[in-house]
Amino acid sequence: MAILYSKNPYVRYIRRKPWALIGPLAFLLVLYLLLSSSSSPSSSGTNGSKKYSYSKKSRGWFAKNRDSVVLKNLPKNHISHYDLNELTTSSDALAKREEVLILTPMSKFLPQYWENLNKINYDHSLISLGFIIPRNEDGDATLKKLEAAVKKVQSSDAKTKFKKVTILRQDSNSLESQAEKDRHALKVQKERRSMMALARNSLVFTTIAPSTSWVLWLDADIVETPPTLIQDLALHSKPILSCNVYQRYVDESTGQDSIRPYDFNNWVESEEGLKIAAGLSEDDIIVEGYAEMATYRPLMAHFYDANGDKNTEMALDGVGGGAVLVKADVHRDGAMFPSFPFYHLIETEGFAKMAKRLGYEVFGLPNYLVYHYNE
């Protein structure tokens, strides 16, 4: 006998959301390209040998709790044998040899993305890569290219190869069929981003390791960043820190190379935004860039100052996913990318809100530019 309570208003409510029902991701394919992190301490700076040193002088987040009684209590043979980790997230991440997980949902393989990624000069033996690829024909082609590229790098010498590469395959059939049914931009946007949120969650929660200090979200269409991206962002030691995503283009009027703002998801909440939210029904979302929903939110994209200090910080309420460094503990505490409206926000913007609900602060660097692909 199954007792059903169909009067429960929540049950019906959920049934109205087809994308959520079809949405669960199928992990059809998990490739582990595990390569021993035989780290010649090469590019690891002067403290390269201190990987498991338990210095009490550490300047990490949880510094005050470092003098561990626990370590003394442990049977010696276990300590010496297994991965024992004092996890820090500090402004001198590289010197402390903190591990970084770079995560990229990838629908299209751009050689420029791959080249730029490989130029990142944080010690590659401390970097793990994770990709999630949609399950459609484009994804098949993408997987082939990514596979070939990964294979080439990982079979090269120790300096360029990464600690570990994980490729996940997403089941995203549902999105395409949804998109065909309804072409209204806002609705499609909501569904696209909901699927993206599920992809991001699966990616981070499947790949995050006990040894991960930082997670760098780097979108597959980010084709240019400073090679010091990780060091530059970690320097600020913020729970969440977002770069300003711009795009290079040729100005047709002048014929000159120029740049323009690209990602408008890095924003500060506004009175108008809150007013709009207050008037929405539970399942509505606010998305930036639609005239019918003018939030007048200050957008980080517009705060870029070419002559300004690259380290200028700006408190944010919403972030995009272009290039964002996150302390792994923020995700471990449960900060995820809502695929359902969370305070009328989804995906990366909902993530920022959830992190704030968990007590974390969110920042951006308006003068620190990374560049989006221009077709």
CA separation for the pair 372, 375 (Å, rounded): 10
Closest CA to 354 of 218, 203, 208, 200: 200
Nearer to its own copies, 148 or 185 (CB): 148
Q: Which of 36, 52, 55, 62 contacts its own copies by CB under 8 A?
A: 62
Q: Please, what is the minimum distance in Å from the beta carbon of residue 375 to its own copies?
A: 25
Contact status, residue 171 vs residue 135, Cβ threshold 8 Å: yes
Cβ count within 10 A of residue 4: 8
Q: Which of 186, 208, 235, 276 contacts its own copies by CB under 8 A?
A: 208
**Could you tell me whether strands 164-170 and 127-134 are parallel, antiparallel, or unpaired per DSSP bridges?**
parallel
Q: Which of 45, 51, 58, 87 contacts its own copies by CB under 8 A?
A: 87
| Helices 173-181/185-207 angle, 10° precision | 170
Segment interacting with its own copies, rule: CB under 8 A, options 18-26, 99-107, 216-224, 227-235: 18-26
CA separation for the pair 283, 301 (Å, rounded): 28
205 binds its own copies (CB under 8 A): yes
**What H or E segment, with its residue span, contains residue 352?**
helix 347-357
Residues in CB range of 113: below 8 A, 6 or more apart: 104, 220, 221, 222, 223, 373
20 binds its own copies (CB under 8 A): yes
61 binds its own copies (CB under 8 A): yes
Segment interacting with its own copies, rule: CB under 8 A, options 37-45, 80-88, 180-188, 250-258: 80-88
Question: For residue 16, what are its two tokens?
Answer: 């109205």
Nearer to its own copies, 246 or 303 (CB): 303
**What H or E segment, with its residue span, contains residue 247?**
strand 240-250
Q: Please, what is the minimum distance in Å from the beta carbon of residue 143 to its own copies?
A: 6
Nearer to its own copies, 207 or 247 (CB): 207
Nearer to its own copies, 144 or 260 (CB): 144
78 binds its own copies (CB under 8 A): yes
Residue 327 phi/psi, 5° resolution? -65, 130
280 binds its own copies (CB under 8 A): no
Q: Which of 123, 288, 317, 349 contacts its own copies by CB under 8 A?
A: 317
Q: Please, what is the minimum distance in Å from the beta carbon of residue 111 to its own copies?
A: 19
Nearer to its own copies, 302 or 374 (CB): 302
Contact status, residue 375 vs residue 314, Cβ threshold 8 Å: no
84 binds its own copies (CB under 8 A): yes
Taken as a whole, the chain contains a residue count of 375
Segment interacting with its own copies, rule: CB under 8 A, options 45-53, 184-192, 195-203, 220-228: 195-203
Q: How far is CA 247 from CA 93, 227, 263, 275, 314, in A?
A: 28, 17, 9, 32, 20
Contact status, residue 135 vs residue 150, Cβ threshold 8 Å: no
Q: Please, what is the minimum distance in Å from the beta carbon of residue 357 to its own copies?
A: 4
What x-and-dash track marks residues 286-315 binding its own copies by CB under 8 A? ------------x----x----xx--xxxx
Q: Which of 98, 263, 329, 349 contacts its own copies by CB under 8 A?
A: 329
198 binds its own copies (CB under 8 A): yes
